[in-house]
Amino acid sequence: MADLNELKYTAEHEWILVDGDVATVGITAYAAEKLGDIVFVELPKVGSTLVEGTVVGEIESTKSVGELFAPVNGTVVEANAAVSDSPELVNSDPFGEGWLVKVRFTELPEMLDLAAYTALTGE
């Protein structure tokens, strides 16, 4: 599991772990809890170009369907096949095995730190 203080967050409840020019992206435990039991995850394909703020995938739960937004501009270099095969990983380990995609980016937009994200969610 990632150190939550090392992560950046978006107002759309995604987390980003930066390693050089690659961002690993997932949804937060808060988002996973609000969605409920996740039963299906649709991720962008490797090689897809992402535009920050656009819908790039879908997360379906027993309660609702949530959209996955691109947190950065870039190219998908890896999609987590384990999550496609076992969507419940997003609920059980959202900051670890439940990551969604890795994106090579050129510039990081302004994002929230843990304190600002906690203030946003009230948790």
Model pTM? 0.93
pLDDT of residue 2: 67
Output the six-digit token pair for 52.
């920050």
Reported as type and span, the H/E element at residue 31 is: helix 29-35
Domain boundaries, the chain: 8-107
Could you say which architecture CATH assigns to the domain 8-107?
Answer: Beta Barrel (2.40)
Q: Structure tokens of 119? A: 């203030």
pLDDT 10s digits, 32-75: 999 999 999 999 999 999 999 999 999 999 989 989 999 999 99
